[in-house]
Amino acid sequence: MYVPDGGGPPPHRHDFEEMFTLLEIEFTFRGAKHTVRAGSTINIPANAPHYFRNVSGAPARMLCMCTPAGQDEYFMRIGDVVAGKDAPPPQLSRDELAQRRQRAAELAATYRSEFL
């Protein structure tokens, strides 16, 4: 994942595990904030409420692994494929951003996720 400064999902949970290896990102996991630094890994158990926010001041890269597999399809349906690993994220208008958030919420249940 390429998370722009200030970017990240709203609070949510799902019935599968996630594991992130990342640069500097602030995670809130079960109500407690943790700043996770470059090279660190955090594991989120199934059904644990969580969210993250990039607070580094610059775009951050993050490797996300979901168990079982399949969440990548959700990300492809709500995100953007970029030209390469160094390509900047798209600049979205407020309306486009609102449409993305609405689409993410509408598709969440299909991908076993729930926004809180």
Strand order through the sheet with 40-44? 2-3, 60-67, 17-22, 40-44
* pLDDT tens figures, 24-81: 666 777 788 887 777 788 888 888 888 888 888 877 878 888 888 888 899 899 988 8
Which helix (H) or strand (E) segment holds residue 95: the answer is: helix 94-108
Which of 9-18, 19-28, 70-79 is the least confident region?
A: 19-28
* pLDDT tens figures, 75-114: 899 988 888 877 877 888 999 989 999 999 999 999 999 9
> What is the rounded CA–CA span in Å between residue 24 and residue 40?
9
> What is the rounded CA–CA span in Å between residue 18 and residue 65?
6
Type of residue found at 107: L
Angle at the Cα of 46 from the Cα atoms of 78 and 32, rounded to 5 degrees: 90
Architecture in CATH of 2-115: Sandwich (2.60)
DSSP class of 88: P
What is the model's pLDDT at position 60?
A: 80
